[in-house]
Structure 1
Amino acid sequence: MLHSAPATAKAFTPEDVTKLYDAAKATKNRETLTDLILLGAYTGARIEELCQLQAQDIVTEEGIKCFYFYDGKTAASERHTPIHPAIQDTVERLIRDSKDGFLIESPAGNKYGNRSDALSKQFGRLKTSLNYNSQFVFHSFRKTVITQLQRADVPGILIASIVGHETGTVTFDVYSAGPSPKQKHDAISKLKYELKT
């Protein structure tokens, strides 16, 4: 079950993403959180969607390697999101090192089968230590991705297909098979951060 994020959540700037990533990387025993931040910043996926990803959910569609998200809140949540070139090596390492098929190691699921709880709390402590207030949550990465793509002149329909939102129009939500994997890959490749992975 996925939780809705507060509508008041604010987007991180690309500089914020670097700060959070570097802080997680510098903290002992936070490798999993560091990887999760990386995946969030380059996919715009919800934290639980990322924690549910398994090696078998990495699929190749029309020659493009993608994450296949299918356990979402709405029909539009089911989507193929191309793997950004910057995280290709990280994804391959996560697949290689996985002990249970999941890309992101989770201390344990809660009673609802939610795998992201402990990591969400870790992230909360990390961002609080960097003086981010309650308007900044993991879901803020989703807003960062959408904002960056919009500012890179990526069409709204393309952004919606990458992050799993409905467009609100029958033409695109009902009749279209959606943008091609290459269109989505070209769009997502416009996400840029100063990260030393």
Structure 2
Amino acid sequence: MPRRTNTGVRYLAEYKGYYRVTMAVPRQLQDQLGQRLVKGLDTQSLLIAKARAQPVIAGFKRRIEDAWTARGGKKHSLLAEALEVRKLLEDADEDMAHFLLQGVRERAEELLNKGARDEVVWDPDLGPEKRRVPTKEAIANSETFKGVVAGRTPIAYYHGDFMRTLKISDRSKLDEPRALALFTDWLMTRERPIDLFIENVTRTVALSYMDDMPAHTGLAWGSNAKYFGRLKFYWGWLARRGYAKESPFHDLTIAKEKVQHDEEERAFTDSEIQRLFMGDPPEGRSMLDVMMVAALTGARLDAVIDLRVGECDDGWFTFKPQKKEKSSRDVPIHPDLLPIVRRRIEGKRPDDDLFPEWPAPKAPSVKPRSSYFSKRFTKYSRDIKVRDELEGKRRSLINFHSFRRWFITKMERAAVPGDLIAAIVGHKRSGLTLGRYSEGPDMRAAIEAVGKVRLPPLDGSVVIEDRGLTPRRRRQT
């Protein structure tokens, strides 16, 4: 849906009936902040939206300015000038170095005098005397210029070089600038802001960020731990390259909150599976087919969405490696999936997508192909009220990944051996022998195991739930 910007306020737009602030990010900063900064204002009233928009707009502008500072300033900025002089000094001979240092002193003096005012002060020996009094901004600019020339380095100055050394997926690379942006935002929004230089990030600063991060970001533990870990990895890289004296984050982690078992994410119940498959999503079979493959293979959403015709036309699915998997894996096609597979491969070429209705986002986006499906599934599950939401939890305890949990649960309750289950769903198998040296279980055993998983009746019949050993929270009726 195109943005509506006829609100009379720049950066304020209407989207699906609600107002939000949306601001484009300069191209040079998009690897750090993304293409746009967007924040919903949670109102359908233009009047309220205008009132709420101003601090958000100011905050976005500050984030963009901080991002420029963190990477070394805009072209022709004071920071960029200081860094350029530093580069020249690194390669200069003695005469050139003397010339440049004299220029640095003159430039620092020029910055100090910019905007200065004359004041008459009383000197006990000389009497009244006129002096130039610099502004606070001029003092800061002069000190920053001298400091950067002498070796102080903006936090993100080497981040581009760091990113180019990473051997991870494009999707995972998105976490790196996000981690750095969260940190620099914290540095600049503290009661006493800290200038965005590598040398200012001490052990004390690192400890404070570790303690403050959960409240500052408002993210779940898993996200905070991930972003903190990526920041720690960057600082380790800086230390190994000699760009930082040491990594103040090296042995720090975000402590995991204790969670009651009945507050952890869980598998779908059979009743929930029944409601999901008997519902009528707007996308119809396009969504239901993806759900069915996930439910009867235990595969993750990314792996299902990315299937091609040639990866399922010989009796089994070949799923691409996910997470920490090192190679693709074959999973038998469940008998209940055969009609879906036959319908979808008919008349298609091996390289054709099995689910062409869910294409990948257009360039330059590096979001996974599954991202749009995930949003639509969340909406569908809300519409039919297949949710398990707790106050203070960002995500429902049941979500698309619950198909995978349900499949594993059903296999265990059908007495399928644990190592065979692990091989089918792509988990690490126990011990060195099976985990490293074995080529995997026999396909016939896997076919038999997958066939033991049975869907609940999809005709509206009463579902009698299995009783597991793990206690769950009793739901209020």
TM range (shorter): 0.7 to 0.9
Work out the percentage of aligned pairs sharing the same amino acid. 31
> What residue is the counterpart of 2:370 in the other structure?
116
8 A Cα contact 2:305 2:358, kept in partner: no
Q: Secondary structure at the match of 2:296?
A: helix
Deviation (angstroms), 1:173: 1.0
1:116-155 alignment runs, 5 A limit: 116-131=370-385, 132-133=387-388, 134-155=396-417
Q: Secondary structure at the match of 1:32?
A: helix
Q: Secondary structure at the match of 1:43?
A: coil
Does 1:11 pair with 2:261? no
> What residue is the counterpart of 1:31 in the other structure?
285
- Could you tell me which amino acid in structure 2 is paired with residue 18 of structure 1? Q
Deviation (angstroms), 1:168: 3.5
8 A Cα contact 2:295 2:404, kept in partner: yes
Provide the C-alpha distance between the structure 1 equivalents of 2:451 and 2:294, rounded to a whole number of angstroms.
14
Q: Secondary structure at the match of 1:154?
A: coil
Unpaired stretches in structure 1, ≥5 consecutive residues? none
1:41-60 alignment runs, 5 A limit: 41-58=295-312, 60=314
Deviation (angstroms), 1:71: 3.3
> What residue is the counterpart of 1:88 in the other structure?
338
Q: What is the TM-score of this pair, normalised by structure 1?
A: 0.86
- Could you tell me which amino acid in structure 1 is paired with residue 277 of structure 2? Y
Provide the C-alpha distance between the structure 1 equivalents of 2:375 and 2:265, rounded to a whole number of angstroms.
16
Aligned counterpart for 2:451 among listed residues 163, 167, 189: 189
8 A Cα contact 2:268 2:405, kept in partner: yes
User: What are the Cα deviations for residues 57-92 of structure 1, in whole angstroms up to 9, with x where unaligned?
Assistant: 1254xxxx1100123222356211000011101111
User: What are the Cα deviations for residues 34-62 of structure 1, in whole angstroms up to 9, with x where unaligned?
Assistant: 111111110100001000000111254xx
Q: Secondary structure at the match of 1:81?
A: strand
Q: Secondary structure at the match of 2:356?
A: coil
8 A Cα contact 2:281 2:287, kept in partner: no
> What residue is the counterpart of 1:22 in the other structure?
278
User: What are the Cα deviations for residues 143-162 of structure 1, in whole angstroms up to 9, with x where unaligned?
Assistant: 00000000110000110111
Aligned residue pairs: how many?
A: 188
Provide the C-alpha distance between the structure 1 equivalents of 2:340 and 2:356, rounded to a whole number of angstroms.
14
More RCO (CA 8 Å, sep 6+): 1
- Could you tell me which amino acid in structure 2 is paired with residue 11 of structure 1? A
Provide the C-alpha distance between the structure 2 equivalents of 1:151 and 1:174, rounded to a whole number of angstroms.
27
Q: CA RMSD in A?
A: 2.3
> What residue is the counterpart of 1:102 in the other structure?
353
Deviation (angstroms), 1:113: 5.3
Q: What is the TM-score of this pair, normalised by structure 2?
A: 0.37
Provide the C-alpha distance between the structure 2 equivalents of 1:34 and 1:75, rounded to a whole number of angstroms.
27
Unpaired stretches in structure 2, ≥5 consecutive residues? 1-168, 173-221, 223-262, 389-395, 460-477
Deviation (angstroms), 1:169: 1.3
Deviation (angstroms), 1:30: 2.4
Bigger drift between 163-172 and 104-113 goes to 104-113
Provide the C-alpha distance between the structure 2 equivalents of 1:165 and 1:70, rounded to a whole number of angstroms.
14
Q: Secondary structure at the match of 2:316?
A: strand
8 A Cα contact 2:296 2:334, kept in partner: yes
Distance 1:92 1:73, change over 3 A: same
8 A Cα contact 2:318 2:328, kept in partner: yes
Provide the C-alpha distance between the structure 2 equivalents of 1:45 and 1:107, rounded to a whole number of angstroms.
17
8 A Cα contact 1:51 1:116, kept in partner: yes
Provide the C-alpha distance between the structure 2 equivalents of 1:67 and 1:115, rounded to a whole number of angstroms.
18
- Could you tell me which amino acid in structure 2 is paired with residue 82 of structure 1? P
Distance 1:21 1:155, change over 3 A: same
Provide the C-alpha distance between the structure 1 equivalents of 2:339 and 2:373, rounded to a whole number of angstroms.
22
